[in-house]
Chain A
């Protein structure tokens, strides 16, 4: 059996039509699913899985934005975000007496 004859067989088999569903097939399915427990609602884990790529992208964008703002402010001579944090920790948090 060569390849062309096999292809001919596939082509002929493709043309066969499937049996038509019975008139009340949808009703039968509905009866079957009524015996089933209701479909599980989306859990928090499912939601997190669904949103994880978008949350990752959003978090990366926020980090990049903060870094760019800090770099921009430093370059312009305006105290940057990290300067503010350093100042705050030096003046308030890391003093010998503490808070």
Chain B
């Protein structure tokens, strides 16, 4: 089994079909990234396809200095950012999720020992993050959910590391306030 570099060389040489192998190798990672920004499975699939098509178009720019996976992840994050910007414009049309009692209890409770299920947590976070700008949402998602470095986030957003740090701090405060507000409203 050849590595990504060999496969990409063959694709550049005209072996278009080999791109399917690249897709198969990296599709789970791309889906995981995009699912952090979009909960609708069909939309995630559309965004994943957009990511791979963009990667295909830009293959000439991949210089192989960093692993292909990192390069592809950056494209996926940019696709997600564009998607959030489009969605922001029609946010009022998006319905609010119905939370279960466990999520509401956790939100109201001051006890840090209470456990929250993954799905409920992701839905709650998604709703609270609607209060953030698309770029701030990308910063928080990459930093807190994907564990990416400030340098990587700065590269995706085309911003400085200092700007990312400052924005992350403000976004976290805004997110905390949004969750507090939700807790008050749901009481």
Contact = CB atoms under 8 A, between A and B. Distances in A.
Report which residue of A3, A6, A13, A20 has the largest number of chain B beta carbons within 10 angstroms of its beta carbon. Answer: A13
A50 B63 contact: yes
Contacts of A12: 115-118, 120-122
A33 B125 CA distance: 35
Contact of A33 (B14, B56, B120, B179): B56
Interface residues on A, range: 35 or more
A71 B20 CA distance: 59
Interface residues on B, range: 35 or more
22 contacts: A1-B180, A8-B116, A12-B120, A13-B121, A16-B35, A16-B122, A18-B35, A19-B41, A20-B28, A21-B28, A21-B31, A25-B23, A25-B45, A29-B19, A29-B20, A38-B14, A39-B11, A39-B12, A39-B56, A39-B59, A41-B12, A50-B63
Interface of A: 1-6, 8-10, 12-22, 25-30, 32-34, 36, 38-43, 46, 50
Given A9-B179, A25-B48, A33-B16, 12 more contacts: A6-B172, A9-B121, A12-B115, A12-B120, A13-B145, A14-B118, A18-B35, A18-B44, A26-B21, A26-B23, A28-B49, A29-B23
